[in-house]
């Protein structure tokens, strides 16, 4: 298992080594020590490898991730897993602002809280936050699901498109064009799948409320629903 100590190896060397991995690499378990809050750790990965980051990470950790699994054993700075395409990013601590911003796919799990603008402009990613999320989360969220076991801050889902928001706790306020919607069987199923994927047990889909777009702000035509 390659171990990269960032006290002696530069971040660029780390990222270059991870980028150089072939799709069929046998070096699939990586460990990064002494991250010391450095920015852009393990960004742009495109191989089915697992990277463990042993401490707090700075901005944009695991950004643009494809196929890899990145686990941060600490807090993550602004924009963790931003623009993720696929794979999994797991933050064991709290995440700062704009976690999972613009991400197209994959799963982002945050064990602690996420700050403001979690899931801003999300485009298909699934995000599970075991704590609470800050204000302006899921702003202009287009697709994917945001599951929150705790509370949500002000203006949840402002100007939302077709993402699904599930919150178990209190929502301080809903943003423009975001409304509560009923939880149907397909939603309960989706919640169950995401809770399982995030390793959450003892929590039932029925404990959540669902929020989504009132479709009053954007030009939505039900005939095109399959395209969203």
Whether 195 contacts 205, CB under 8 Å: yes
Nearest of 167, 158, 66 to residue 114 by alpha carbon: 167
Asked if residue 94 binds another protein (CB under 8 A), the reply is: yes
Q: How far is the CB of 59 from another protein (least distance, A)?
A: 8
Q: What is the total count of residues that contact another protein (CB under 8 A)?
A: 20
Nearer to another protein, 155 or 160 (CB): 155
Applying CB under 8 A, among 3, 16, 36, 170 the residue interacting with another protein is 36
**x/- site string to another protein, residues 38 to 77, per CB under 8 A?**
x----------------xx-xx--------------xx-x
Tell me the pairing of strands 143-148 and 178-181.
Answer: unpaired
Applying CB under 8 A, among 83, 97, 121, 190 the residue interacting with another protein is 97
- Count how many residues are written for the chain: 228
Kindly write down the DSSP assignment for every residue of 196-213, as one continuous string.
Answer: HHTT--S--GGG-EEEEE
Nearest of 204, 209, 207, 180 to residue 192 by alpha carbon: 204
Q: Which residues within the stretch 127-186 sit at the binding site for another protein (CB under 8 A)?
A: 134-136
Asked if residue 115 binds another protein (CB under 8 A), the reply is: yes
Q: How many CB atoms lie within 10 A of CB 118?
A: 34
Residues lying near another protein in the complex (CB under 8 A) are found at 36-38, 55-56, 58-59, 74-75, 77-78, 93-94, 96-97, 115-116, 134-136
């Amino acid at each position: 298992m390659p171990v990269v100590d960032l006290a002696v190896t530069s971040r660029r060397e780390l990222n270059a080594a991870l980028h150089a991995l072939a799709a069929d690499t046998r070096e699939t378990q990586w460990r990064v020590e002494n991250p010391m809050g450095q920015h852009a750790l393990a960004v742009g990965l495109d191989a089915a490898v697992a990277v463990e980051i042993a401490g707090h990470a700075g901005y944009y950790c695991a950004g643009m991730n494809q196929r890899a699994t990145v686990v941060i054993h600490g807090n993550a700075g602004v924009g963790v897993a931003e623009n993720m395409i696929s794979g999994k990013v797991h933050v064991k601590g709290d995440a700062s602002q704009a976690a999972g911003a613009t991400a197209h796919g994959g799963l982002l799990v945050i064990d602690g809280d996420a700050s403001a603008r979690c899931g801003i402009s999300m485009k298909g990613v699934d995000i599970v936050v075991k704590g609470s999320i800050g204000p302006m989360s899921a702003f202009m969220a287009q697709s994917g699901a945001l599951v929150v076991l705790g509370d949500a801050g002000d203006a949840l889902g402002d100007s939302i498109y077709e993402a699904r928001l599930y919150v178990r706790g209190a929502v301080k306020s809903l943003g423009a064009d975001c409304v509560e919607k009923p939880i149907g069987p397909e939603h309960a199923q989706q919640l169950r799948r995401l809770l399982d994927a995030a390793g959450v047990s003892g929590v039932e889909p029925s404990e959540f409320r669902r929020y989504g777009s009132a479709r009053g702000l954007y030009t939505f035509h039900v005939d095109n629903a399959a395209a969203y």
